[in-house]
Structure 1
């Protein structure tokens, strides 16, 4: 019998609130199995069992977690938000893998099924399927893209918009989930309204992207799946040859535009929509640097392709070069060609693009442009202080002084991020990979970018089970921006 308080209510354990929310979120996530079930019935492809199994297992587990602590109403702390966010992404990756594991298609082990699920939810877009995407049932193709879409803005942020109706406060979750250096900024006075505003923008852009793909020549089904993947900057496609399957410039232009849209801060989209003005984009310093990076990297990639690349036509070289720059830089991971064999430094430069070319508050991965800006400005400030040790030199973004604690936190983030990348690369080397392939695989995973180089340029089918679990950890760390995950491994986090 549980101990009770003086009012007769049960005395809950320390993490009862976390358990209650985990149960609710799992029950909500179980509903994501319904659309694939409907598609199976429509196309009569006999994939009902995997999704029914996933639905009932996820729903039952969530109910069993929620029922014993259903009356718990304690306020969430920021520490609880970190725990819920990390646990939920990890647990969701496991439960999301059930339909893959139970299907008779391209996933033959639990490591492959979990990898596919985590890759979808973290919007990484790597796959364990070497070939055969074209022949997959429609329900599984849709489910893969749906995982991208749900993970794009963060299922936890979606839950923040819904959970207050169930008696759960959300600010702790929002701080833990929202990427970027300014986590306390709100678009609206209430956190629930902020989350809802972001999701309305997200939904509107998804619809626009899907209609644009349809106009460009995709079937309605392909347009829907690719819209989910593009706005989320995920990269799962319904075809083995990705966007290259279509071979049309119109489809590629739509993909490039909306990949850039997904890699832009969604707060800017919201402001532009609410003010009916595009001026907000150009007034934002991060967005200007964002566009400048794509222009600079486009020149650095396209010039070698024109001079020494595999294309006879300069326009074709620019077309493929710019597509790959945007696909890698936005961490969307779509492809129209295999850049592994491109000349000189180009393949490695594309991998480096995945680290630094997405805005904070976007669906893209990597360290984010705003952090890169602060890191560079801090470096220049240190150089000035060497010459003028007593000078007061402040760092500004868009005319506002950035507090020193934020600047130093960015420096710490870079150190940990690069250190983790190197450590995980070392682990991948133990699986027998060469150095370039191992580094690109880890970079693609921790930046949630998808394609690497060499044998992991198109898929990770040849990676060992241990290597897949290393990359799963890297994908989760990247999606949670490293510290949200690593803080759970510190003794101070678990002290009362």
Structure 2
């Protein structure tokens, strides 16, 4: 393990992160909300800490190995979650405990969107901006951005990219050079954010809300600048725009890249994961809309818009709200929450287990049924026309097994702290799927649950964001053996 190289990179990344507090300072100056000093002090502290870590190892040069990449990724996300809490903790205007500050920071950076704050409308503009910005940087991953810079520092980036990028297939690069891949991802990410913000603005949001909500939408985050989330605007056009961009952001960004390069939407239509995902969302949306209209919960028009919005918001693990879906009739709250376990496509900013894995498990199950009928026949699991190796299927089954086992263990911990079953189940599900809103006592915010539960959920949010194995591998003796 190259500990000096790891320390050097962590120092650089932390200094880069400290500079992201500059926009919050600018927002504070523009709106004169009196928050310049807290953000300035936090930025100085984080930059000094990064400099302190980097300086002793500044001249060390070494190529990273795969294990180094995993360790850097985990350490940086933990360090970032704690460091990102500084503007909250040292801000007298919001008076947050250390636990709450870390929870809010980790929730933002992992694009979970679970919050401990209330009266968000009354918060200083710079604090509201900072929450939205945390999600935007966490959405694509600051480390993916950094791999475009690391080669200039004499460090290879592919190990970081593999450890950071979500999804079951992590070795496919969009371009021959990893630096160019990182740039391509960020160009797409930035372009979608700008277009989304402009659309929100022309639909009726002010500049501050349009930019803030575009950050959360493209990052699949769910934080809002208002307590009522998207429902604050009560605008069907805004809701439709949000639906479109939530769906677009939950699609594999590689598809966006190739569709743009070839100027054709056929790229999407040929992708097995996309087709399965679209059919799943369509089926759940039709069921939800039918139940809402049949039970007279809403009129036909509102039933269609609200039903479609909440299905896309929860299924993509964004977590925006236009209605209190936790109190919708019949099976709808449970149905929507279960769909969040599927999540978005691999290679997107969405959370959950990823559509690709669920699709492969479905195809594997169908193959086993055929084998029962025809024991001697040979059936191959295919994605489109391409066969999938048994090694990948084994990895998918292993991931889902560890994912669900982690879910059960964390749920038991929350139950042991005194939370009821519905609250514990939904809180852990919302954390590990990076969803945000839960059911029961965490339907609106997480401020009232105990500290042990909050730290457990912080671990769950990191576990989900880093695709489980990236984090858990550090707890295995084999990882530390030479």
The separation in 1 between residues aligned to 2:8 and 2:296, in whole angstroms, is 57
The separation in 2 between residues aligned to 1:491 and 1:241, in whole angstroms, is 47
Residue 15 of structure 1, CA deviation:
1.1
Determine if the alignment matches structure 1 residue 56 to structure 2 residue 44: yes
Residue 314 of structure 1, CA deviation:
2.1
1:172-251 map, 5 Å: 172-251=159-238
Determine the structure 1 residue equivalent to 2:8.
20
String of CA shifts for 1:332-371, please: whole Å, max 9, x gaps: 1100011111111111111111111400000000011110
Determine the structure 1 residue equivalent to 2:239.
252
Q: For residue 375 of structure 2, give the secondary structure of its aligned residue in structure 1.
A: coil
C-alpha contact (below 8 Å) 2:62/2:154 kept by paired residues: no
Q: Which moved more, 1:465-474 or 1:46-55?
A: 46-55
String of CA shifts for 1:46-87, please: whole Å, max 9, x gaps: 111221121111111111111111111111011111111111
Residue 138 of structure 1, CA deviation:
1.1
1:264-275 map, 5 Å: 264-275=251-262
C-alpha contact (below 8 Å) 2:110/2:139 kept by paired residues: yes
The separation in 2 between residues aligned to 1:157 and 1:72, in whole angstroms, is 22
2:467 to 458, 481, 487: 481
Determine if the alignment matches structure 1 residue 149 to structure 2 residue 136: yes
C-alpha change, 1:381 and 1:25, in structure 2 (3 Å) is same
Determine the structure 2 residue equivalent to 1:333.
319
Report the TM-score, using the length of structure 2 for normalisation. Answer: 0.98
The separation in 2 between residues aligned to 1:184 and 1:247, in whole angstroms, is 43
The separation in 1 between residues aligned to 2:165 and 2:38, in whole angstroms, is 32
1:21-420 map, 5 Å: 21-129=9-117, 131-311=118-298, 313-420=299-406
Determine the structure 1 residue equivalent to 2:442.
456
C-alpha contact (below 8 Å) 2:84/2:105 kept by paired residues: yes
Residue 309 of structure 1, CA deviation:
4.6
The separation in 2 between residues aligned to 1:154 and 1:207, in whole angstroms, is 18
Q: Which moved more, 1:64-73 or 1:112-121?
A: 64-73
Determine if the alignment matches structure 1 residue 424 to structure 2 residue 410: yes
String of CA shifts for 1:407-439, please: whole Å, max 9, x gaps: 110001111111111111111112222111111
Residue 384 of structure 1, CA deviation:
2.4
Determine the structure 2 residue equivalent to 1:5.
none
Q: Which moved more, 1:397-406 or 1:234-243?
A: 397-406
Residue 14 of structure 1, CA deviation:
3.8
The separation in 2 between residues aligned to 1:43 and 1:273, in whole angstroms, is 38
The separation in 1 between residues aligned to 2:139 and 2:96, in whole angstroms, is 27
Residue 381 of structure 1, CA deviation:
1.7
C-alpha contact (below 8 Å) 1:294/1:357 kept by paired residues: no
The separation in 2 between residues aligned to 1:427 and 1:300, in whole angstroms, is 34
Residue 128 of structure 1, CA deviation:
0.2
Report the TM-score, using the length of structure 1 for normalisation. Answer: 0.95
The separation in 1 between residues aligned to 2:288 and 2:343, in whole angstroms, is 15
Residue 456 of structure 1, CA deviation:
0.8
Residue 107 of structure 1, CA deviation:
4.7
C-alpha contact (below 8 Å) 2:343/2:355 kept by paired residues: yes
The separation in 2 between residues aligned to 1:21 and 1:309, in whole angstroms, is 57
Unaligned 5+ residue runs, structure 2?
A: none
String of CA shifts for 1:270-319, please: whole Å, max 9, x gaps: 111111111111111111111111111112212221122532x1221222
Aligned-CA RMSD value: 1.1
Residue 391 of structure 1, CA deviation:
2.9
Residue 373 of structure 1, CA deviation:
0.6
The separation in 1 between residues aligned to 2:374 and 2:58, in whole angstroms, is 61
Q: For residue 149 of structure 2, give the secondary structure of its aligned residue in structure 1.
A: helix
The separation in 1 between residues aligned to 2:311 and 2:213, in whole angstroms, is 19
C-alpha contact (below 8 Å) 2:2/2:68 kept by paired residues: no
The separation in 2 between residues aligned to 1:342 and 1:139, in whole angstroms, is 35
The separation in 1 between residues aligned to 2:224 and 2:390, in whole angstroms, is 43
